[in-house]
Amino acid sequence: MVFFFRKKKAASSSDLVIPNHVAIIMDGNGRWAQSRGLPRVEGHRKGAESVRAACESCVELGIKHLTLYCFSNENWKRPKDELDFLMGLLKKFLVQECKTLLEKNIRLTVIGRRQGLPDDILDEMDSVIDRSKNCTGLHLCLAINYGSRQEITDGVRSIAEKVQRGEITPSEIDEQTIANSLYTSGVPDPDLLIRTSGEMRISNYLLWQISYSELYITKRAWPEFNKADMVQAIEEYSRRHRRFGGL
């Protein structure tokens, strides 16, 4: 069962158990804006500031991996003007934040299908990924044009192709084989999954990888999510006892 968490007495930094990998479903941008009488796109603009705050929090807390659900492949169903704004916002982020990422020693990667993304977005994406590849601090992964079922489908297809080429036999396929075929190959599974805006679903996000992740649901919309909220989530994570099926 997943609960909403109220603010509790803050733990000292020495009491915190820091997750190695945090994944976030950044939800509620449009509703946050509409509740304030603003266009939905203003929620996305404000949400970009929360991305910066989340990265800064992870650097300060010592979290090694942060994966953000930026744009799902189902989001293409949205109105064209909103899609155009989102693509423009993504490009602006890549251009403007590249210097900051390098200064903060943050390495950028992206997971998702490249097909369908504008060429100028892909060019900026590839540029920042290449320029930050030797950074050794926080690993920031953006899930863009991403869907977990599609990821698993692509992974199964790549395994089938290896079987067809005689590189592997069906009996040799195990969980590690599947994990290695996913977009996140080589990255540890998330210890903590945060979802904002109170929705109680996973939304086709990292379905294989979050098998044993702790879930933290907050009613705070993503544009409101700040450093204090991140610390509160880590405090709650620190109070959990992860059994991984054992006692």
Active site members = 27, 75
Token pair for 46: 């404000």
Token pair for 115: 């097909």
User: What's the CA gap between 197 and 220, in Å, rounded?
Assistant: 5
Torsion on CA atoms 99, 107, 16, 5, rounded to nearest 10: 80
- Cα distances (angstroms) measured from residue 168 to each of 52, 153, 162, 176, 208: 43, 18, 6, 13, 22
- Cα distances (angstroms) measured from residue 24 to each of 68, 83, 143, 167: 5, 21, 10, 36
> What percent of the chain is helix, strand and coil (3-state, nearest 5)?
45, 15, 40
